[in-house]
Structure 1
Amino acid sequence: MLAAVDHVQLAAPPGSEDLLRVYYTDVLGMTEIPKPPALAVRGGCRFRAGAVQLHLGIEAGFRPAGKAHPGLRVTGIEAFAARLAARGATVTWDDHLPGHRRFYSEDPVGNRLEFLEPLE
């Protein structure tokens, strides 16, 4: 039986690890976690914030998905959006999900990310 989502993997182009590290650590405030040595030779990187893990795997011929994205629940969404915008990330608000505040952003390689917080 399914118990939880362990991680979400996104793709990235070869050689983008340094850009990804800046975005996921400095902009989003996540911590980089080491890849197992057997997987580290493939490139890419992994990040964690609490129970949330995002893995970025290297893919030759990478093209970001136009619609697919992880939905990441946040607390203090207004402050979080301001943090991203102050660090140069796009913040595109969307009011189409009843009962939530949410916005979309993109990482430096074009992966779409949704950030949402339930209304009280």
Structure 2
Amino acid sequence: MLRLDHVQLAIPPGAENECRRFYVDILGMEEVPKPPALAKRGGLWLRSGEVQIHLGVEADFHPALKAHPGIVVGDLDRLAETLARSGHEPIWDDSLPEIRRFYVADPLGNRLEFLAASTF
């Protein structure tokens, strides 16, 4: 294996704008145009640096409450503050004392983990 290309999370039909507000406006990710054949399905492709998240429409949507991407960020505290101000309260986890990290749910309930780059 060479590298992970992207992580896909499910979203319900019609949730694209709500997801844009979170992933683009709050997290600062860039929306990437989907190929026309896939754009018909709905959803979003997002990127920030090497991190890519695809949000795919699932008719019988259930949020990922346990499974999650783990995303390393440069300024974990600043991201935590930004999320908290936006109504997405981080849940800090110190069960691995050598790794600074927190979890947060996107607006649809999908779990995301953010880790401090300085701990790696």
Q: Tell me if both proteins adopt one fold, taking TM over 0.5 as the criterion.
A: yes
CA distance in 1, matches of 2:37, 2:97: 44
| Counterpart in the other structure of 1:5 | 4
Aligned residues: 119
- 2:12·2:58 contact (CA, 8 Å) conserved in 1? yes
How far the C-alpha of 1:66 sits from its partner, in A, is 2.1
Structure 2, unmatched stretches of 5+, are none
| Counterpart in the other structure of 2:48 | 49
State percent identity of aligned pairs: 56
TM-score, normalising length: structure 1 = 0.95
TM-score, normalising length: structure 2 = 0.95
How far the C-alpha of 1:87 sits from its partner, in A, is 1.5
| Counterpart in the other structure of 1:70 | 69
CA distance in 1, matches of 2:7, 2:114: 14
Structure 1, unmatched stretches of 5+, are none
Runs (4+) of structure 1 moved beyond 6 Å? none
Give matches, 1:81-120, under 5 Å.
Answer: 81-117=80-116, 118-119=118-119
**Per-residue Cα deviation, 1:49-105 (whole angstroms, up to 9, x for no partner):** 001000000001100122100000011111110011112212111101231110000
- 2:19·2:107 contact (CA, 8 Å) conserved in 1? yes
The AA in structure 1 aligned to 2:95 is: H
